[in-house]
Amino acid sequence: MSILKPVYKVYEWYISRNLSPENMPKHVAIIMDGNRRFSRIQGNIDAIEGHKRGIGTLEKFLDWCVDLEIEIVTVYAFSIENFNRTDREVRGLR
């Protein structure tokens, strides 16, 4: 078992415990960045698999936003520079 899972559980508990409707944001934005870097760090994960894991993380984040009643979420997932990647990777990002 990864040590990160229990750490994230504690972090989620801490964050949710300290949130209140009075200071809840109505709009949050996230920039999808670091999935290829994650793949390289892992050593044996293909870049497209790294992107898929990033999507999984985004889905968890969006669930969290729904639970917290955040009204607007903006996700930046693909920049113009991404078109400079290999055709296979660009197709894998669709």
- Catalytic residue status for 82: yes
d(CA 34, CA 7): 20
Please report the pLDDT score of residue 66 as a whole number: 92
Domain residue spans in the chain?
25-92
Mean pLDDT of 5-30: 84
Out of 23, 33, 35, 84, the active site residue is: 33
Contact indicator for 76, 29 with CB cutoff of 8 Å: yes
**pLDDT, tens only, 19-74:** 787 888 899 999 887 666 777 777 777 777 777 778 888 999 999 899 888 999 99
Please report the pLDDT score of residue 29 as a whole number: 95
Please report the pLDDT score of residue 35 as a whole number: 67
Out of 44, 63, 67, 82, the active site residue is: 82
- Catalytic residue status for 33: yes
